Amino acid sequence: MKSYGLAYMATGLVFLVIDAIWLTVAAQRFYRPLMGEMLLEGFRLIPAILFYVIYIGGIVVFAIAPAFATGRWSTATVYGAMLGLFAYATYDLTNQATLRNWPVIVTIVDLSWGTFLTALAATTGFLITRAFTSAS
């Protein structure tokens, strides 16, 4: 159980830091010009926290736990990439299907970003957890 707690914390830290950098840069340069009035000036804290709490749990359960079972970082990478693709596709393709002005390029960039970031966070979270639990 200690391994899962450490994996959650390590994965969450990696995901949050990298995503915060991305969103800080991309919000003004990429999203705002394409989405304009659809975006808030800031963000709503409670839904953002809920997303990160739930999604990091999903990474641990669906990517890192299988990597613990195989002992291979590549399992975390592949399962993380698949989870990222599925989750971000759910959001973006639903928006594209239901919103009048959802840009196709936003869907393409978000799918790529979600796949990459989730794979990276899962892999890094697994490697950090393995390094600390193997040493103890």
The arithmetic mean of pLDDT across residues 111-122, rounded, is 98
Residue 98, token pair as written in the block: 């239901």
> Please, which pLDDT band fits residue 118 given cuts at 50, 70 and 90?
very high
Q: Does this model's pTM top 0.85?
A: yes
Q: What is the pLDDT of residue 22?
A: 94
Condensed to tens digits (0 to 9), the pLDDT of residues 12-49 reads 999 999 999 999 898 788 988 998 888 888 889 999 99
Q: What is the pLDDT of residue 42?
A: 81
Q: What is the pLDDT of residue 134?
A: 77
Q: What is the pLDDT of residue 136?
A: 44
Condensed to tens digits (0 to 9), the pLDDT of residues 52-98 reads 999 999 999 999 999 999 999 999 999 999 999 999 999 999 999 99
CA separation for the pair 134, 32 (Å, rounded): 45
Secondary structure (H, E, C), 48-110 = HHHHHHHHHHHHHHHHHHHHHHHCCHHHHHHHHHHHHHHHHHHHHHHHHHHCCCCCHHHHHHH
Q: Is the pLDDT of residue 135 over 60?
A: no
Angle at 112 between CA 32 and CA 9, to 5 degrees: 95
The residue range of the domain holding 23 is: 1-135
Q: What is the pLDDT of residue 47?
A: 96
Q: How many domains does the chain have?
A: 1
